[in-house]
Structure 1
Amino acid sequence: MSAALGLPFAGKVVLVTGGAQGIGRGIAEAFAAQGASVAVADIDANAARAWLASASRPHDVQTHRAYDADLATHGAIVRLIAQIEADYGRLDVLVHNAAYFPLTPFAQITPPLLERTLAVNLSALFWLTQAATPLFVKQGGGRVLVTSSVTGPRVAYPGLAHYAASKAGVNGFIRAAALELAPLGITVNGVEPGMIRTPAMDNLGDAALSARIAGAVPLGRLGEPADIAAAMLYLASAGASYVTGQTIVVDGGATLPEASAAFAASR
Protein backbone atom coordinates (compact mmCIF):
# COMPACT_ATOMS: atom_id res chain seq x y z
CA MET A 1 0.00 0.00 0.00
CA SER A 2 1.14 3.54 -0.60
CA ALA A 3 -0.04 7.11 -0.46
CA ALA A 4 -0.39 6.93 -4.24
CA LEU A 5 -3.16 4.39 -3.73
CA GLY A 6 -5.17 6.83 -1.64
CA LEU A 7 -3.68 6.02 1.76
CA PRO A 8 -1.93 9.24 2.83
CA PHE A 9 -0.51 7.79 6.04
CA ALA A 10 0.99 4.64 4.52
CA GLY A 11 4.46 4.10 5.95
CA LYS A 12 3.73 6.39 8.90
CA VAL A 13 3.70 5.36 12.56
CA VAL A 14 1.05 6.88 14.80
CA LEU A 15 0.92 6.50 18.57
CA VAL A 16 -2.50 6.99 20.18
CA THR A 17 -2.66 7.01 23.97
CA GLY A 18 -5.94 5.91 25.49
CA GLY A 19 -6.62 4.41 22.08
CA ALA A 20 -8.47 1.24 23.04
CA GLN A 21 -11.94 2.74 23.47
CA GLY A 22 -14.10 5.80 23.02
CA ILE A 23 -12.61 8.78 21.20
CA GLY A 24 -9.15 7.21 21.21
CA ARG A 25 -10.38 4.09 19.46
CA GLY A 26 -12.08 6.24 16.84
CA ILE A 27 -8.80 8.08 16.25
CA ALA A 28 -6.80 4.85 16.05
CA GLU A 29 -9.24 3.30 13.59
CA ALA A 30 -9.22 6.41 11.40
CA PHE A 31 -5.44 6.46 11.09
CA ALA A 32 -5.36 2.71 10.44
CA ALA A 33 -7.93 3.13 7.68
CA GLN A 34 -5.66 5.75 6.08
CA GLY A 35 -2.73 3.34 5.94
CA ALA A 36 -0.83 4.14 9.14
CA SER A 37 0.77 1.62 11.44
CA VAL A 38 -0.96 2.41 14.71
CA ALA A 39 0.46 1.86 18.18
CA VAL A 40 -2.26 1.96 20.82
CA ALA A 41 -1.21 2.57 24.43
CA ASP A 42 -3.88 2.05 27.07
CA ILE A 43 -4.12 1.33 30.78
CA ASP A 44 -6.73 -1.33 29.96
CA ALA A 45 -4.53 -4.09 28.55
CA ASN A 46 -7.49 -6.30 27.62
CA ALA A 47 -9.17 -3.50 25.68
CA ALA A 48 -5.89 -2.72 23.90
CA ARG A 49 -5.47 -6.35 22.87
CA ALA A 50 -9.10 -6.48 21.71
CA TRP A 51 -8.49 -3.43 19.52
CA LEU A 52 -5.37 -5.04 18.10
CA ALA A 53 -7.28 -8.22 17.25
CA SER A 54 -10.00 -6.24 15.48
CA ALA A 55 -7.62 -3.92 13.62
CA SER A 56 -5.12 -6.47 12.30
CA ARG A 57 -6.01 -8.37 9.15
CA PRO A 58 -4.24 -11.30 7.47
CA HIS A 59 -1.67 -10.16 4.89
CA ASP A 60 -2.16 -6.50 5.92
CA VAL A 61 0.96 -4.45 5.26
CA GLN A 62 0.11 -2.30 8.25
CA THR A 63 1.67 -3.33 11.53
CA HIS A 64 -0.40 -2.39 14.53
CA ARG A 65 0.69 -2.94 18.12
CA ALA A 66 -0.89 -2.62 21.55
CA TYR A 67 0.94 -1.44 24.66
CA ASP A 68 -0.15 -1.66 28.29
CA ALA A 69 0.75 1.74 29.74
CA ASP A 70 -0.27 3.81 32.76
CA LEU A 71 0.72 7.32 31.75
CA ALA A 72 0.65 8.73 35.28
CA THR A 73 4.41 8.30 35.72
CA HIS A 74 7.37 9.74 33.85
CA GLY A 75 9.20 6.41 33.82
CA ALA A 76 6.33 4.58 32.13
CA ILE A 77 6.22 7.19 29.39
CA VAL A 78 9.95 7.04 28.74
CA ARG A 79 9.72 3.23 28.50
CA LEU A 80 6.75 3.46 26.12
CA ILE A 81 8.51 5.76 23.65
CA ALA A 82 11.66 3.63 23.86
CA GLN A 83 9.58 0.57 22.99
CA ILE A 84 7.98 2.38 20.05
CA GLU A 85 11.44 3.23 18.76
CA ALA A 86 12.61 -0.37 19.23
CA ASP A 87 9.55 -1.82 17.49
CA TYR A 88 9.15 0.66 14.63
CA GLY A 89 12.35 2.68 14.40
CA ARG A 90 10.32 5.85 13.88
CA LEU A 91 7.35 7.90 15.05
CA ASP A 92 5.47 10.33 12.83
CA VAL A 93 2.41 11.35 14.82
CA LEU A 94 1.92 11.41 18.59
CA VAL A 95 -1.71 11.66 19.71
CA HIS A 96 -2.16 12.11 23.46
CA ASN A 97 -5.77 11.21 24.01
CA ALA A 98 -5.67 9.37 27.35
CA ALA A 99 -7.55 11.23 30.09
CA TYR A 100 -8.71 10.83 33.67
CA PHE A 101 -11.88 12.63 34.75
CA PRO A 102 -13.97 11.02 37.51
CA LEU A 103 -17.03 13.21 38.12
CA THR A 104 -16.33 14.62 41.60
CA PRO A 105 -17.79 17.66 43.42
CA PHE A 106 -15.16 20.28 44.11
CA ALA A 107 -15.38 19.85 47.90
CA GLN A 108 -14.66 16.13 47.54
CA ILE A 109 -11.55 16.39 45.35
CA THR A 110 -8.63 14.77 47.17
CA PRO A 111 -4.89 15.23 46.63
CA PRO A 112 -4.51 11.79 44.97
CA LEU A 113 -7.44 12.46 42.61
CA LEU A 114 -6.11 15.89 41.58
CA GLU A 115 -2.57 14.60 41.22
CA ARG A 116 -3.62 11.71 38.97
CA THR A 117 -5.83 13.98 36.86
CA LEU A 118 -3.00 16.42 36.25
CA ALA A 119 -0.49 13.59 35.73
CA VAL A 120 -2.47 11.77 33.04
CA ASN A 121 -4.08 14.72 31.30
CA LEU A 122 -1.31 17.32 31.44
CA SER A 123 2.05 16.08 32.72
CA ALA A 124 1.96 13.07 30.40
CA LEU A 125 1.68 15.45 27.46
CA PHE A 126 4.92 17.14 28.54
CA TRP A 127 6.80 13.85 28.98
CA LEU A 128 5.44 12.20 25.82
CA THR A 129 6.39 15.20 23.71
CA GLN A 130 9.80 15.48 25.34
CA ALA A 131 10.54 11.78 24.81
CA ALA A 132 9.25 11.76 21.23
CA THR A 133 11.11 14.88 20.09
CA PRO A 134 14.44 13.12 19.37
CA LEU A 135 12.59 10.61 17.16
CA PHE A 136 10.92 13.44 15.28
CA VAL A 137 14.21 15.29 14.86
CA LYS A 138 15.86 12.21 13.33
CA GLN A 139 13.35 12.21 10.50
CA GLY A 140 13.10 15.97 10.04
CA GLY A 141 9.86 16.67 11.89
CA GLY A 142 6.67 15.28 13.33
CA ARG A 143 3.19 16.04 14.63
CA VAL A 144 2.07 16.31 18.25
CA LEU A 145 -1.70 16.19 18.66
CA VAL A 146 -3.76 16.19 21.83
CA THR A 147 -7.39 15.67 22.70
CA SER A 148 -8.17 18.74 24.78
CA SER A 149 -11.76 19.71 25.68
CA VAL A 150 -14.19 22.58 25.61
CA THR A 151 -14.38 22.00 29.37
CA GLY A 152 -11.80 24.29 30.89
CA PRO A 153 -10.70 26.45 27.96
CA ARG A 154 -14.27 27.55 27.11
CA VAL A 155 -16.94 26.26 29.49
CA ALA A 156 -17.23 24.62 32.92
CA TYR A 157 -19.35 21.81 34.32
CA PRO A 158 -20.08 21.00 37.98
CA GLY A 159 -17.97 18.13 39.25
CA LEU A 160 -15.16 18.62 36.74
CA ALA A 161 -13.03 21.41 38.24
CA HIS A 162 -9.96 19.14 38.28
CA TYR A 163 -10.50 18.10 34.67
CA ALA A 164 -11.19 21.67 33.52
CA ALA A 165 -7.96 22.88 35.11
CA SER A 166 -5.96 20.14 33.39
CA LYS A 167 -7.42 20.89 29.96
CA ALA A 168 -6.88 24.63 30.30
CA GLY A 169 -3.26 23.72 30.97
CA VAL A 170 -3.21 21.51 27.89
CA ASN A 171 -4.19 24.45 25.69
CA GLY A 172 -1.44 26.56 27.23
CA PHE A 173 1.06 23.80 26.49
CA ILE A 174 -0.08 23.59 22.86
CA ARG A 175 0.71 27.26 22.25
CA ALA A 176 4.02 27.35 24.12
CA ALA A 177 5.35 24.04 22.78
CA ALA A 178 4.39 25.04 19.24
CA LEU A 179 6.73 28.04 19.46
CA GLU A 180 9.65 26.06 20.84
CA LEU A 181 9.33 23.06 18.55
CA ALA A 182 8.58 24.89 15.28
CA PRO A 183 12.30 25.28 14.40
CA LEU A 184 12.59 21.48 14.60
CA GLY A 185 9.80 20.94 12.08
CA ILE A 186 7.39 19.73 14.76
CA THR A 187 3.84 21.07 14.87
CA VAL A 188 1.69 20.99 18.00
CA ASN A 189 -2.10 21.19 17.78
CA GLY A 190 -5.21 19.95 19.51
CA VAL A 191 -8.89 19.18 19.17
CA GLU A 192 -11.47 20.36 21.71
CA PRO A 193 -14.39 17.92 21.75
CA GLY A 194 -17.78 18.86 23.06
CA MET A 195 -20.25 16.18 24.13
CA ILE A 196 -19.20 13.00 22.32
CA ARG A 197 -21.10 9.71 22.46
CA THR A 198 -18.69 7.36 24.28
CA PRO A 199 -18.84 4.93 27.22
CA ALA A 200 -17.43 7.73 29.37
CA MET A 201 -20.68 9.67 28.95
CA ASP A 202 -22.25 7.11 31.27
CA ASN A 203 -20.46 8.97 34.07
CA LEU A 204 -22.56 12.06 33.39
CA GLY A 205 -26.06 10.60 33.67
CA ASP A 206 -28.74 8.48 32.03
CA ALA A 207 -30.16 8.32 28.50
CA ALA A 208 -32.68 11.05 29.26
CA LEU A 209 -29.88 13.45 30.18
CA SER A 210 -28.01 12.55 26.99
CA ALA A 211 -31.13 13.33 24.98
CA ARG A 212 -31.50 16.72 26.67
CA ILE A 213 -27.86 17.52 26.00
CA ALA A 214 -28.22 16.55 22.35
CA GLY A 215 -31.28 18.76 22.07
CA ALA A 216 -29.26 21.73 23.30
CA VAL A 217 -26.60 21.31 20.59
CA PRO A 218 -27.26 23.57 17.58
CA LEU A 219 -26.58 20.70 15.17
CA GLY A 220 -29.10 18.60 17.11
CA ARG A 221 -26.98 15.60 18.04
CA LEU A 222 -24.15 14.37 20.18
CA GLY A 223 -20.81 14.04 18.48
CA GLU A 224 -19.25 10.72 17.54
CA PRO A 225 -15.62 9.60 17.94
CA ALA A 226 -15.34 9.78 14.14
CA ASP A 227 -16.00 13.52 14.30
CA ILE A 228 -12.92 14.00 16.48
CA ALA A 229 -10.88 11.58 14.40
CA ALA A 230 -11.60 13.57 11.25
CA ALA A 231 -10.14 16.70 12.82
CA MET A 232 -7.09 14.75 13.99
CA LEU A 233 -6.52 13.38 10.48
CA TYR A 234 -6.55 16.90 9.10
CA LEU A 235 -4.06 18.21 11.68
CA ALA A 236 -1.72 15.29 10.93
CA SER A 237 -2.04 15.67 7.16
CA ALA A 238 0.19 17.42 4.67
CA GLY A 239 -2.56 19.99 4.28
CA ALA A 240 -1.98 21.19 7.85
CA SER A 241 1.78 21.60 7.54
CA TYR A 242 1.45 25.36 8.15
CA VAL A 243 -0.84 24.98 11.18
CA THR A 244 0.66 24.95 14.68
CA GLY A 245 -0.27 26.15 18.15
CA GLN A 246 -3.98 25.82 17.38
CA THR A 247 -7.04 23.93 18.56
CA ILE A 248 -10.12 22.97 16.59
CA VAL A 249 -13.42 23.01 18.48
CA VAL A 250 -15.65 20.07 17.47
CA ASP A 251 -18.85 20.49 19.47
CA GLY A 252 -21.73 20.98 17.04
CA GLY A 253 -21.81 24.69 17.86
CA ALA A 254 -22.63 24.13 21.54
CA THR A 255 -20.12 26.65 22.88
CA LEU A 256 -21.07 29.47 20.52
CA PRO A 257 -22.09 32.44 22.70
CA GLU A 258 -25.52 32.52 21.07
CA ALA A 259 -26.21 28.80 21.49
CA SER A 260 -27.89 28.91 24.90
CA ALA A 261 -30.17 31.81 23.93
CA ALA A 262 -31.16 30.06 20.69
CA PHE A 263 -31.91 26.86 22.62
CA ALA A 264 -34.06 28.72 25.15
CA ALA A 265 -35.99 30.47 22.37
CA SER A 266 -36.74 27.19 20.65
CA ARG A 267 -38.23 25.51 23.73
Structure 2
Amino acid sequence: MAKLSGTTVMLTGAGGALATAIAQELIDAGAELLLVGRGESLARAEDRLPAKKVFDLDLTDPASVDKLRKQKADVLIHTAGAFSAQEAQKADDADYQRLFGANMLTLFHAVQGVLPHMLKQKEGMILGVSAGQAAHMSGPGAALYTASKAAVAAYLLSLNAELKSKGVSTLTLYPMGAIDTPANREAGLSWETMIDPRALAQTLAHAITRPERAHLTELKVYPEQ
Protein backbone atom coordinates (compact mmCIF):
# COMPACT_ATOMS: atom_id res chain seq x y z
CA MET A 1 0.00 0.00 0.00
CA ALA A 2 1.14 3.54 -0.81
CA LYS A 3 2.31 5.59 2.19
CA LEU A 4 0.99 9.14 2.32
CA SER A 5 1.54 10.12 5.94
CA GLY A 6 1.95 13.88 6.18
CA THR A 7 0.36 14.50 2.77
CA THR A 8 -2.71 16.73 2.53
CA VAL A 9 -5.00 15.84 -0.36
CA MET A 10 -7.86 17.99 -1.62
CA LEU A 11 -10.54 15.70 -3.05
CA THR A 12 -13.38 17.15 -5.10
CA GLY A 13 -16.63 15.40 -5.88
CA ALA A 14 -16.68 14.16 -2.29
CA GLY A 15 -19.53 11.75 -1.69
CA GLY A 16 -19.46 10.31 -5.19
CA ALA A 17 -18.73 6.61 -5.65
CA LEU A 18 -15.26 7.12 -7.10
CA ALA A 19 -14.34 9.87 -4.64
CA THR A 20 -15.46 7.70 -1.70
CA ALA A 21 -13.26 4.81 -2.84
CA ILE A 22 -10.34 7.20 -3.32
CA ALA A 23 -10.90 8.80 0.08
CA GLN A 24 -10.84 5.46 1.87
CA GLU A 25 -7.64 4.43 0.08
CA LEU A 26 -5.98 7.74 0.98
CA ILE A 27 -7.06 7.49 4.62
CA ASP A 28 -5.68 3.96 4.84
CA ALA A 29 -2.41 5.30 3.42
CA GLY A 30 -2.22 8.01 6.10
CA ALA A 31 -3.20 11.09 4.10
CA GLU A 32 -5.17 14.01 5.52
CA LEU A 33 -8.21 15.00 3.47
CA LEU A 34 -9.78 18.28 2.45
CA LEU A 35 -13.19 17.26 1.10
CA VAL A 36 -14.93 19.46 -1.46
CA GLY A 37 -18.46 18.66 -2.57
CA ARG A 38 -22.09 19.67 -2.50
CA GLY A 39 -25.19 19.07 -0.43
CA GLU A 40 -26.33 15.63 0.69
CA SER A 41 -23.48 13.76 -1.00
CA LEU A 42 -20.94 15.82 0.90
CA ALA A 43 -22.87 15.38 4.16
CA ARG A 44 -22.75 11.60 3.73
CA ALA A 45 -19.02 11.75 3.05
CA GLU A 46 -18.48 13.92 6.13
CA ASP A 47 -20.35 11.38 8.26
CA ARG A 48 -18.39 8.42 6.92
CA LEU A 49 -14.91 9.78 6.43
CA PRO A 50 -12.50 11.54 8.79
CA ALA A 51 -11.45 14.77 7.13
CA LYS A 52 -9.23 17.67 8.11
CA LYS A 53 -11.76 20.12 6.64
CA VAL A 54 -14.96 19.95 4.59
CA PHE A 55 -16.12 22.52 2.05
CA ASP A 56 -19.59 22.77 0.52
CA LEU A 57 -18.71 24.67 -2.65
CA ASP A 58 -20.05 25.18 -6.14
CA LEU A 59 -16.84 24.87 -8.16
CA THR A 60 -18.47 26.47 -11.19
CA ASP A 61 -18.60 29.69 -9.14
CA PRO A 62 -15.43 31.83 -9.36
CA ALA A 63 -15.91 32.72 -5.68
CA SER A 64 -14.86 29.17 -4.80
CA VAL A 65 -11.28 29.96 -5.83
CA ASP A 66 -10.68 32.40 -2.98
CA LYS A 67 -11.98 29.92 -0.42
CA LEU A 68 -9.71 27.16 -1.70
CA ARG A 69 -6.66 29.42 -1.80
CA LYS A 70 -6.78 29.66 1.97
CA GLN A 71 -6.01 25.93 2.17
CA LYS A 72 -2.66 24.16 1.85
CA ALA A 73 -3.01 21.07 -0.31
CA ASP A 74 -0.06 18.99 -1.47
CA VAL A 75 -2.22 17.05 -3.92
CA LEU A 76 -5.46 17.83 -5.75
CA ILE A 77 -7.58 14.92 -6.96
CA HIS A 78 -10.45 16.23 -9.04
CA THR A 79 -13.33 13.81 -9.53
CA ALA A 80 -16.17 16.34 -9.81
CA GLY A 81 -17.97 16.10 -13.14
CA ALA A 82 -21.12 15.12 -14.96
CA PHE A 83 -22.34 13.01 -17.87
CA SER A 84 -25.24 13.39 -20.22
CA ALA A 85 -25.84 12.29 -23.79
CA GLN A 86 -27.79 14.04 -26.49
CA GLU A 87 -28.04 13.72 -30.24
CA ALA A 88 -25.79 16.26 -31.92
CA GLN A 89 -28.61 18.07 -33.71
CA LYS A 90 -30.60 18.35 -30.49
CA ALA A 91 -27.80 19.70 -28.28
CA ASP A 92 -28.18 23.29 -27.18
CA ASP A 93 -26.28 25.98 -25.30
CA ALA A 94 -27.61 24.74 -21.97
CA ASP A 95 -26.11 21.29 -22.65
CA TYR A 96 -22.80 22.91 -23.55
CA GLN A 97 -22.70 25.12 -20.47
CA ARG A 98 -23.69 22.26 -18.16
CA LEU A 99 -21.09 19.78 -19.39
CA PHE A 100 -18.18 22.16 -19.82
CA GLY A 101 -19.09 23.78 -16.51
CA ALA A 102 -19.24 20.50 -14.58
CA ASN A 103 -16.20 18.88 -16.20
CA MET A 104 -13.81 21.66 -17.18
CA LEU A 105 -14.71 24.83 -15.29
CA THR A 106 -14.77 23.02 -11.95
CA LEU A 107 -11.26 21.70 -12.61
CA PHE A 108 -10.03 25.14 -13.64
CA HIS A 109 -11.31 26.72 -10.43
CA ALA A 110 -9.95 23.92 -8.24
CA VAL A 111 -6.51 24.29 -9.83
CA GLN A 112 -6.57 28.05 -9.42
CA GLY A 113 -7.34 27.44 -5.76
CA VAL A 114 -4.51 25.03 -4.96
CA LEU A 115 -1.78 26.25 -7.31
CA PRO A 116 -0.45 29.26 -5.34
CA HIS A 117 0.48 27.05 -2.38
CA MET A 118 1.99 24.35 -4.58
CA LEU A 119 4.13 26.87 -6.43
CA LYS A 120 5.21 28.48 -3.19
CA GLN A 121 6.38 25.17 -1.72
CA LYS A 122 7.75 24.11 -5.14
CA GLU A 123 5.98 20.79 -4.91
CA GLY A 124 2.55 19.47 -5.74
CA MET A 125 0.51 17.12 -7.87
CA ILE A 126 -2.79 17.60 -9.69
CA LEU A 127 -4.81 14.58 -10.78
CA GLY A 128 -7.93 14.70 -12.92
CA VAL A 129 -10.35 12.20 -14.41
CA SER A 130 -10.98 12.28 -18.14
CA ALA A 131 -12.83 9.53 -20.02
CA GLY A 132 -12.17 6.66 -22.38
CA GLN A 133 -14.11 8.44 -25.11
CA ALA A 134 -11.74 11.39 -24.83
CA ALA A 135 -8.72 9.11 -25.10
CA HIS A 136 -10.09 7.83 -28.41
CA MET A 137 -11.37 11.29 -29.41
CA SER A 138 -14.78 9.85 -30.18
CA GLY A 139 -18.07 9.62 -28.37
CA PRO A 140 -21.15 8.68 -30.40
CA GLY A 141 -24.19 10.30 -28.82
CA ALA A 142 -22.02 12.19 -26.36
CA ALA A 143 -20.05 14.72 -28.39
CA LEU A 144 -20.23 17.50 -25.79
CA TYR A 145 -19.34 15.18 -22.92
CA THR A 146 -16.40 13.78 -24.88
CA ALA A 147 -15.23 17.27 -25.84
CA SER A 148 -15.40 18.48 -22.24
CA LYS A 149 -13.43 15.48 -21.00
CA ALA A 150 -10.89 15.92 -23.80
CA ALA A 151 -10.51 19.52 -22.61
CA VAL A 152 -9.72 18.18 -19.12
CA ALA A 153 -6.93 16.02 -20.52
CA ALA A 154 -5.50 18.77 -22.73
CA TYR A 155 -5.54 21.25 -19.85
CA LEU A 156 -3.74 18.88 -17.47
CA LEU A 157 -1.11 17.91 -20.04
CA SER A 158 -0.41 21.56 -20.79
CA LEU A 159 -0.18 22.34 -17.07
CA ASN A 160 2.36 19.56 -16.65
CA ALA A 161 4.52 20.95 -19.45
CA GLU A 162 4.36 24.45 -17.95
CA LEU A 163 4.78 23.62 -14.28
CA LYS A 164 6.97 20.51 -13.99
CA SER A 165 10.13 22.65 -13.80
CA LYS A 166 8.51 24.42 -10.83
CA GLY A 167 7.84 21.19 -8.93
CA VAL A 168 4.18 20.71 -9.87
CA SER A 169 3.13 17.71 -11.95
CA THR A 170 -0.17 16.41 -13.28
CA LEU A 171 -1.77 13.07 -14.08
CA THR A 172 -4.76 12.42 -16.30
CA LEU A 173 -6.69 9.25 -15.53
CA TYR A 174 -8.70 7.66 -18.34
CA PRO A 175 -11.22 5.06 -17.15
CA MET A 176 -11.58 3.04 -20.35
CA GLY A 177 -15.13 2.02 -19.60
CA ALA A 178 -17.92 2.65 -17.14
CA ILE A 179 -17.07 2.77 -13.43
CA ASP A 180 -18.99 0.41 -11.14
CA THR A 181 -21.30 2.84 -9.33
CA PRO A 182 -24.85 2.49 -8.01
CA ALA A 183 -26.08 4.82 -10.77
CA ASN A 184 -24.51 2.71 -13.49
CA ARG A 185 -25.94 -0.47 -12.01
CA GLU A 186 -29.38 1.16 -11.87
CA ALA A 187 -28.90 2.04 -15.55
CA GLY A 188 -28.62 -1.67 -16.27
CA LEU A 189 -24.86 -2.11 -16.62
CA SER A 190 -23.42 -5.36 -15.30
CA TRP A 191 -20.73 -5.14 -12.64
CA GLU A 192 -18.58 -7.64 -14.57
CA THR A 193 -18.23 -5.17 -17.45
CA MET A 194 -17.32 -2.14 -15.32
CA ILE A 195 -14.17 -0.87 -13.63
CA ASP A 196 -13.87 -1.40 -9.88
CA PRO A 197 -13.61 2.07 -8.25
CA ARG A 198 -11.32 0.56 -5.57
CA ALA A 199 -8.85 -0.41 -8.28
CA LEU A 200 -8.90 3.15 -9.61
CA ALA A 201 -8.35 4.45 -6.08
CA GLN A 202 -5.37 2.17 -5.55
CA THR A 203 -3.94 3.24 -8.90
CA LEU A 204 -4.16 6.93 -8.01
CA ALA A 205 -2.66 6.42 -4.55
CA HIS A 206 0.26 4.57 -6.13
CA ALA A 207 0.71 7.29 -8.75
CA ILE A 208 0.98 9.97 -6.07
CA THR A 209 3.89 8.19 -4.41
CA ARG A 210 5.88 7.42 -7.56
CA PRO A 211 9.29 9.16 -7.70
CA GLU A 212 9.57 12.13 -10.05
CA ARG A 213 11.89 10.23 -12.36
CA ALA A 214 9.11 7.66 -12.84
CA HIS A 215 6.19 10.11 -13.02
CA LEU A 216 3.15 9.25 -15.13
CA THR A 217 1.31 11.99 -17.02
CA GLU A 218 -1.45 9.80 -18.47
CA LEU A 219 -2.88 6.50 -17.29
CA LYS A 220 -5.53 4.30 -18.90
CA VAL A 221 -7.38 1.78 -16.74
CA TYR A 222 -9.48 -0.92 -18.39
CA PRO A 223 -12.26 -3.14 -17.10
CA GLU A 224 -11.55 -6.84 -16.89
CA GLN A 225 -11.67 -8.29 -20.38
TM-score normalised to the size of structure 2? 0.89
Q: Which has the larger radius of gyration?
A: 1
1:171 lines up with 2:150 in the alignment: no
CA distance in 2 between counterparts of 1:166 and 1:244 reads: 25
Asked if the contact 1:18–1:42 (Cα under 8 Å) also holds between the matched residues in 2, the reply is: yes
Report the equivalent of 2:222: 251
Report the equivalent of 2:57: 69
Q: Give the CA deviation at 1:68.
A: 1.1
Give the unaligned 5+ runs of structure 2.
Answer: none
1:46 to 36, 40, 50: 40
Root-mean-square deviation (CA), in Å? 2.2
Give the unaligned 5+ runs of structure 1.
Answer: 1-5, 57-62, 215-219, 255-267
Q: Give the CA deviation at 1:202.
A: 5.2
* Secondary structure class of the residue paired with 1:66: strand
1:100 to 59, 78, 82: 82
Report the equivalent of 2:99: 117
Identity of aligned residues (%): 22
Aligned length: 224
Q: Give the CA deviation at 1:140.
A: 2.5
Report the equivalent of 1:258: none
CA distance in 2 between counterparts of 1:149 and 1:108 reads: 22
1:81-100 superposed matches below 5 A: 81-83=68-70, 85=71, 90-100=72-82
Task: Mark the CA change 1:224 to 1:70 in structure 2 (over 3 Å): closer, same or farther.
Answer: same
Task: Mark the CA change 1:139 to 1:243 in structure 2 (over 3 Å): closer, same or farther.
Answer: same
Pick 1 or 2: higher relative contact order, CA cutoff 8 A, min separation 6.
Answer: 2
Asked if the contact 1:18–1:96 (Cα under 8 Å) also holds between the matched residues in 2, the reply is: yes
Asked if the contact 1:223–1:251 (Cα under 8 Å) also holds between the matched residues in 2, the reply is: yes
Report the equivalent of 2:179: 196
TM-score normalised to the size of structure 1? 0.76
Asked if the contact 2:59–2:110 (Cα under 8 Å) also holds between the matched residues in 1, the reply is: no
Q: Give the CA deviation at 1:143.
A: 0.5
Asked if the contact 2:207–2:216 (Cα under 8 Å) also holds between the matched residues in 1, the reply is: no
